[in-house]
Amino acid sequence: MLSTLLADFRIIFERDPAARSWLEVFFCYPGLQALLFHRLAHWLYGIGIPFIPRFVSHIGRFFTGIEIHPGATIGRGVFIDHGMGVVIGETAIIGDYALIYQGVTLGGTGKESGKRHPTLGENVVLGAGAKVLGNIQLGNNVRIGAGSVVLRDVPSDCTVVGIPGRVIYRSGVRVEPLEHSNLPDSEAEVIRTLVDRIEALEQQLETLQNNQSAAKTPVLAGNFGACESELSKKALSCNLRDKVIQEFLDGAGI
């Protein structure tokens, strides 16, 4: 127990550049305080004492804003950064040296009994607001992007982003746990592909209309065809590369 508490304490200095003294960390870091409450509640829960473990958990929630069920199993060196709004369910299992940001939920998907919450491997990173739901497995070194919703198992050494979460394999590439800027933007990539496809179809349609207009032999018909072609160009020009869409494709405002 003592070695686990020391690991919880030391990991904060390794992962948070704002941590300057042990006094500040002990009294001003709700993530550490929530783990201290949980370690006590989990021990009481394990020896079968009724009511008291939940009451200790409730006190911890009141002071820290972090709700951890006494039945949850949490490994050593886990760092809950800021932590407000974090919810960890009864049958959740968190491996060693996980990094959890504010608003994360490790929850269930219904009223089923038994194992109904996620199991996390070692060195897992859960971005702010991430939701991991159900009796699913997350492997070692998995990174969940902020705001993602994960409903299926995730293999080791993968990054997950989006709603619902999509896996992007990064095996063999070492990624720092705080390197959130390297998360891929799958939604913008899909939209860019659709925009390119629409523009290609517009060019094909414009070519077909130009060929039809050129095939008209009468002068009046030809003039009319030219006017019609110009109108068609204006109608088909949807300005997909305007500033708003380009900013979205480049990642602004996402």
Residues 227, 135: one domain? no
Give the whole-angstrom CA distance, residue 34 versus residue 19. 17
pLDDT at 197: 81
Residues 217, 195: one domain? yes
Report residue 162 as tokens: 């989006």
- Last residue of one domain, picked from the residues 182, 198, 217: 182
Beta-carbon neighbour count of residue 211 at 10 Å? Answer: 9
Residues of the chain by 3-state class (helix, strand, coil), percent to 5: 45, 15, 45
pLDDT at position 243 over 80 = no
Residues 8, 131: one domain? yes
Residues 23, 135: one domain? yes
pLDDT at 166: 77
pLDDT at 216: 66
Q: Which residue has the higher pLDDT, 112 or 155?
A: 155
Q: Indicate the helix (H) or strand (E) that contains 66.
A: none
pLDDT tens-digit readout, 124-173: 999 999 999 999 999 999 999 888 999 988 888 888 888 887 776 565 45
- Which SS3 state, helix, strand or coil, does residue 1 take? coil
Domain enclosing residue 236, as ranges: 186-249
Strands 158-161 and 166-169: antiparallel
Residues 42, 150: one domain? yes
Residues 41, 154: one domain? yes
The residues with which 138 forms a beta bridge, in sequence order, are 120, 154
Domain count, the chain: 2
Report residue 171 as tokens: 């095996």
Residues 113, 226: one domain? no
In degrees and rounded to multiples of 5, residue 180 shows phi and psi of -75, -20
Q: Which of 12-26, 155-169, 217-231 has the highest mean pLDDT?
A: 12-26
pLDDT at position 226 over 60 = no
Residues 235, 146: one domain? no
Residues 217, 104: one domain? no
pLDDT at 220: 47
Q: Identify whether 254 is part of a domain.
A: no
Give the whole-angstrom CA distance, residue 86 versus residue 74. 14
Residues 161 and 148: beta-carbon distance below 8 Å: yes
Q: Identify whether 70 is part of a domain.
A: yes
- Last residue of one domain, picked from the residues 158, 182, 206: 182
pLDDT at position 117 over 90 = yes
Residues 171, 208: one domain? no
Report residue 9 as tokens: 């304490």
- Last residue of one domain, picked from the residues 182, 203, 237: 182
Give the whole-angstrom CA distance, residue 73 versus residue 243. 49
The pLDDT > 70 percentage for the chain reads: 76
pLDDT tens-digit readout, 24-72: 888 989 999 999 999 999 999 999 999 999 999 999 999 999 999 999 9
The CATH number of whichever domain residue 61 belongs to comes to 2.160.10.10
Q: Identify whether 165 is part of a domain.
A: yes
185 pLDDT band (50/70/90 cuts)?
low
Which residue, chain included where needed, has tokens 């305007």?
242
